[in-house]
Amino acid sequence: MHLASLTSIALMAIAALAAPTTISRRATGGLNVVYWGQNGGSTVENNDLASYCSSTAGIDIVVLAFLYEYGNGNTVPSGTIGQSCSISTGGVAQNCDALASAITTCQSQGVKVVLSLGGAAGAYSLSSQEEAETIGQNLWNAYGKNVNNSPSRPFGDAFVNGWDFDIESNSGNQYYQYLIAKLRSNFASDSSNTYYITAAPQCPIPEPNMGEIISAAQFDYLWVQFYNNPGCSTNGNINFADWKTFVSSGPSKNAKIFIGVPASELGATGTSSGAQYYLAPPALSTLVGKFSSDSAFGGVMMWSAGFSDSNVIDGCTYAQQAKNILANGAVCGGSGYAPAPTSSQPAAHTASQSPSPAPSSAAPSSAAPSPVPTAPLSVPDKGPGGPRATSVIPATSPTTVATTLVTTTSAAAPQPTDTGAVSEQTGACTSEGAWNCVGGANWQRCASGQWSVLMPVPAGTSCSAGMSANLVLVPV
């Protein structure tokens, strides 16, 4: 996984094909988006981000996952992105030079790179407007164009093209509008680049965690997770029209809506239990065809790069299949993916080319919002972060850090306390925020009054069977 303390894992991703010099990144049918930086389901992505930005990769936007620790007095978001790059709570980067270089390479190829906050497992929440605004400014100073000569920049002079919010906790969400507004207030200082605010909400409406954020803040792209939620997922009828209605009168009324899908049968949950939400390329093509002419349609988002790499059909990864569907209205035909050249140089996603109007530096909406792990936790998000109502920090105690990860391999390594063997729980639950470890290899959580589905623990770790307020992982 992406823990630096664990043994390195051999890369499984497919080598990039030779890239032609001409390609249009702007598909007529929408943009192709993939998350990169987390792994799960025994799948490991290529640690070289730039491999996903070649002209034959078929990807328009890469979302870096995740900065997952911030708030409760910590105003410098931290996390681990990819298998090497780690950013501390002080904003100090370790082994991030290669990623920084890859970001610049991607941008030179016309691929946008967006940095995501949150995820299904982490220690994040906001406690006040002041804290939110401070975090927003710190994010700009650290990852926006280096116009202020900020001393703490994990990627050096490299900058991202926007910020993504995959918030799966409902603690302090009324303050995200101020964080986002602070970010937007800086955009005008770099008129040479266009920045984006994006989000990955779950598909139910009302959305349990991001609903009030989207109601109060302006987003440019919404890649809705149309999976892991019966009633609005890809194994039934997705509620695309309901999402259009939901945002139609709010600050995100001009946002483009993307169809979020798992990139393999394991993508939704990290196990075969999520295969019901996977769409084979012909089915994805049919679904995209239903909405591609809709003015609100933005494209396809998939979780994640590693799952796409492991899922090759007719010579195309799942990401390439999605791009071919978006660009040509058909799946790959068996000879691999070959983008059609349209111009002499890559076309960047400028404000005029983007499916969404250029982001502005709008102030917070006046509309009223709806009524620390010591080391990174490598529980991935959308697919392997599976249960779409998963809350990492108990809503009843926003200052509580609910997860502990022990990465030492010495004989004195502390072991988790066994609170009694507990089998998989289903249905309603009353111990909000409680963790349940089943068999040492899987976990689930009581969130929003319901038990989540079982999710695998990070590779190379184990938990002790039982239910407790903390999920403690130890190396195996």
pLDDT tens string 93-148: 999 999 999 999 999 999 999 999 999 888 999 999 999 999 999 999 999 997 67
pLDDT tens string 38-81: 877 778 899 999 999 999 999 999 999 999 999 999 999 999 99
Burial class of residue 55, CB neighbours in 10 A (0-12, 13-18, 19+): buried
* Structural domains of the chain ordered from first start: 31-328 (3.20.20.80), 406-475 (no CATH)
CB atoms within 10 A of CB 300: 30
Nearest to 177 by CA among 150, 197, 201: 197
Nearest to 66 by CA among 302, 464, 377, 367: 377
* Contact predicate 464/14, CB 8 Å: no
461 has a pLDDT exceeding 70: no
Verify whether residue 168 is a known catalytic residue: yes
CB atoms within 10 A of CB 105: 18
Catalytic site residue from 45, 69, 131, 168: 168
Instruction: Please tell me the pTM assigned to this model.
Output: 0.71
- Indicate the pLDDT class of residue 256, thresholds 50, 70 and 90: very high
* Contact predicate 302/223, CB 8 Å: no
Nearest to 474 by CA among 417, 413, 419: 413
344 vs 21, 25, 104, CA distance in Å?
8, 12, 20
Nearest to 43 by CA among 274, 375, 283: 274
Percent with pLDDT over 90 in the chain = 59
Nearest to 381 by CA among 158, 154, 142, 200: 200
Q: For 112-180, what is the HEC assignment?
A: EEEEEEEECCCEECCCCHHHHHHHHHHHHHHHCCCCCCCCCCCCCCCCCCEEEEEECCCCCHHHHHHHH
Nearest to 79 by CA among 133, 121, 134: 121
- What does the alpha-carbon distance between residue 146 and residue 140 come to, in Å, rounded to a whole number? 9
Q: What is the mean pLDDT of residues 328-336?
A: 84
pLDDT, mean over the chain: 78
Residue 366 tokens, joined: 């006046």
161 vs 33, 140, 196, 275, CA distance in Å?
13, 11, 6, 33
**Per-residue confidence (pLDDT) for residue 396, from 0 to 100:** 24
- What does the alpha-carbon distance between residue 150 and residue 160 come to, in Å, rounded to a whole number? 15
